[in-house]
Amino acid sequence: MRIQPRQQILGIWQSMISACYRDGVWLWGGRAGSNSISDAEQLLCLLYPATEIPTLALDRPDDMADDVLAALRALASGPPGDPDFEWLLERSGPAAVVGEALVGLLETYIETYTDIGGDPIFAAGSYLRTSDESGLEEQQLAVEVVDSYSMSLTLSIASLGFLRVFLGFVRAQAYPEANQLNERINVLTGKISHRLTAAMIGLLRSFVVNTIAPGSTVGQTIIGMLNQAELPTGMMIENINRALEPVRTQLRSDVTLAQTPGTKLWRDDMLFECGWSWGVVQKAGALDDYQSFRIAGQEGIGDPRPYLYFTIIALDGINDLTSQRTRKLDLLDDTQRKLAESLQIRWYLTQQYWSTVARFGPGRWPLEDIPWRTSDGEESDYFSAMVSAVLIQDLVGRTANEDDLSRAVTIFDELCRRGRITRRATRDDPAVALHSPGVPLSLVGTEKAGGVLLQWVVADYAAVLLKRVLQAARLSGDVTARDRLLELAKSIMDHLHRRKMSGGTSDGLWDYPARAFERIEAREEDALVSWYMTERMIECLVTADRTYRSLPLRPPTMVNRAVELLNEAEHLLNQEWLGVILDDTSGKRQALEDVEQQLDRARTLVDEKPGTAVSIATMALIRLEELAYARLDATRSF
C-alpha cells in the first residue's frame, strides 16, 4: 500500500481519541497496563508527529489545520464543568483547548512518575517479564531500563518544544484567565526539564565499554563473526584493532563522565565493544556534580556489556538532542548542554564502532552473514536488523557510500524474507516468533533486585525494518536502489497494515499479529492497544514524511538532458524573436513571452528537479514548433 504519512497519522489520532478519551477523561494504559515507558509512548503518539511535522503542529492554535482539529476535536470538549476549558473555548476556540488538554496530560504524566521527593521515576514496571511468566514483586517492577531513559528524553524534548511555542500563544491572550495557564506551563516546563536531565544522566551511566581477551569464549565469538575471509586468528586480531583504533583512542581520551570501571582500553592486544547496557551499569561511576538527582549516584546492576536493542534505543533518543528543532528553540539549559555533549560523543563512537564491525573486511560483510551473533553467543535475525539500524543511522550522519546502500538493500530484502514479511509463513514456522511473542532478552543483573532473572521482550522486528528502509531510501542517490527500497517499504507497510486492530475500542491501532500469521492464536489481551508497537508505527510515518520531503534524485544523465533541451529551446526562441517587429501586439508576441517564462522557470529547476525541467522544456519546444509550423503554413498560403 502507498505510505501517506499525514493521512495515516491523522487516522491514528482519530483512533487514539476514540480509544483513550471518554466522557472528558483520558484513559492511560494499554495491553501491558501503565508504566513510565508505555504512558510515554502513548503521549508520543500525539506529540512526536506534532513537533516533527509542521502541518500537524498543535502548538499554534491560530494556524492549526482543519483536518488536524477534526481528528482531535473531542479533546476540545473537556471534562464536564471544567472552567479552564470553558473560558478557553469561549475566548480562543477549540484549537486552543486541544493545546490546554495536552498540557493537562503532561501534568498527569509528570505527577504520576515523580516520587514524593521530587525524583523522576523510570521504572519499567509491567514491561518486564520472567521466563516462567510468574508475577513480579514491587522491587522487580521498580527496575529501570534504558528504554525508559530514552523514551523520557524524546518525550521531554517534544514536550518542551510544544510548551515553548504554545506558551507564546497563551501570553498573547489579553484576559486574566490566561495568567493561570501561563503559570501552569512555566511550572510544568521546569518539571519536564528536571526529568530530561535525570534521563540524560541515566543514559550516561548506562553506557558501557567492554574489553575482551581474544582467547576467551567471548573473544572467539566476536572473531568468528567478523572473520568472513577465514584469516588466521592473529592476523584477524591485528586487523580488527587497526580498524577500530580511532574509536579506541577517542574512548580513552574523551569518555570520562560515568566511565565504565575495569576497562583495559590501554591494552592494544584486547578486543572491545561499546554501547548501552539494559540499565545503569554495575559499578558505573557516580556523577558528583549532579548529586541532587537520585540516579546520579544510585548503585547500578546492569550487565557491563552492550545490548544491541538498548543501544539502538539510546542512539535514537540522543539523536533528538541534536535535532535542528532542539537547537532552534534553545530547549537545553547549560547543565543539559554539558550532558548532551558527553552523550553525543558516545553516540558518535558507538555508531562508528558498530558500522565498522558490520562492514569489516574486504569481501562479504559480517552483517551479510545472517543471522548476527552477539558476543554472548546468542544469534537472531532480530540482531541483524539491529546492526543494520546502526549502520543506516551512521550513514545518515555522514556522506553515504552508494555501494554501502546497494548492499544494504539486499540485506533488508533478505531480512524481510526471513522474517516472513514478504514471504508466506509455513506451518510451525519459527520465524513467526520474531513478531509474536517476540525475542526475549535476558537482563543479566536483575536477579539482584529480586532473585529472579528478568526478561525484556522485543516484538518490533517489522517496524525496525520499515523505519531503516525509509531512512536508507532518503540517503540513496541511485534511482534503482531507491526504487527497490521504496517498493520494499510498501511491502512492509502492507504487512503492518494487516496487523492493525479492527473493531472494538482499539480499532485502527496496533498490534494484532494474528491477522498476518495464521499460526498465531489470538489472546484475550490482544484486544487492547499496544502503545509499544503503535509508537513505533508513528516513528516510521514521521521517517516517511522526512523521506518524502527530501529532494528527488538528480541523475547526471537527466540533468544533462534538461540542459540539452533548454539549449535547443533557447536557440529556437531567439530565432522566433528575430521575426517579431518592435511594436507587434499580436498573439505571437504573447506566446513567445509565455515560452520565455517557461524556460526561465525550467532553468531554476535544473539542479533540484531535472525531470520537471525536462517536462517544462519539452512543453516549450512543442509550443515553439506550433509557432514555427503556423508561420510556415502562412507562408505557403501566398
What per-residue confidence (pLDDT) applies to 394? 83
What per-residue confidence (pLDDT) applies to 260? 65
Mean pLDDT of 412-441: 92
Is a pLDDT exceeding 60 seen at residue 637?
no
As a whole number, the mean pLDDT across the chain is 88
Whether 566 contacts 602, CB under 8 Å = yes
Whether 368 contacts 411, CB under 8 Å = yes
First to last CA, the chain: 60
What per-residue confidence (pLDDT) applies to 534? 96
**Ramachandran sector of residue 262 (left: φ over 0; alpha: ψ -120 to 50; beta: rest):** left
Angle at CA 61, nearest 5°, toward 60 and 63? 70
Whether 446 contacts 145, CB under 8 Å = no
What per-residue confidence (pLDDT) applies to 606? 83
What the block records as the C-alpha cell of 610 is 531535472
Confidence of residue 635 (pLDDT cuts 50, 70, 90): low
What percentage of the chain carries pLDDT values higher than 70? 92
Mean pLDDT of 598-620: 86
Sign of CA dihedral 478, 483, 484, 490: positive
Considering only residues 573 and 185, tell me which one the structure prediction assigns the higher pLDDT: 185
Confidence of residue 579 (pLDDT cuts 50, 70, 90): confident
Is a pLDDT exceeding 90 seen at residue 367?
yes
> What 3 state SS string does 110-121 have?
HHHCECCCCCEC
Is a pLDDT exceeding 60 seen at residue 565?
yes
Mean pLDDT of 235-262: 82
Tell me: cis bond preceding 94? Omega within 30 of 0 counts. Answer: no
Whether 457 contacts 438, CB under 8 Å = yes
Quick: pLDDT tens for 440-482: 999 999 988 877 899 999 999 999 999 999 998 888 777 788 8
Q: Are strands 372-373 and 379-380 parallel, antiparallel or unpaired?
A: antiparallel
Quick: pLDDT tens for 90-133: 667 788 888 989 999 999 999 999 999 899 999 999 999 887 77
Rounded CA Rg of the chain = 28
Report all structural domains of the chain as residue ranges with CATH numbers, in order of start.
1-201+307-318+361-550 (1.50.10), 556-636 (no CATH)
> Using CA atoms, how far apart are residues 382 and 308, in angstroms rounded to an integer?
10
Mean pLDDT of 605-625: 86
Cα dist from 293 to 199, 287, 313, 484, whole Å: 10, 9, 23, 49
Confidence of residue 188 (pLDDT cuts 50, 70, 90): very high
What percentage of the chain carries pLDDT values higher than 90? 51
User: pTM (2 decimals)?
Assistant: 0.88
Tell me: cis bond preceding 437? Omega within 30 of 0 counts. Answer: yes
- Could you tell me which of 559, 536, 433 has the C-alpha nearest to residue 147? 536
Element (H, E) at 128: strand 128-130
Is a pLDDT exceeding 60 seen at residue 633?
yes
Is a pLDDT exceeding 80 seen at residue 483?
yes
Quick: pLDDT tens for 250-304: 988 877 665 666 677 778 788 999 999 999 999 888 888 888 899 999 999 999 9
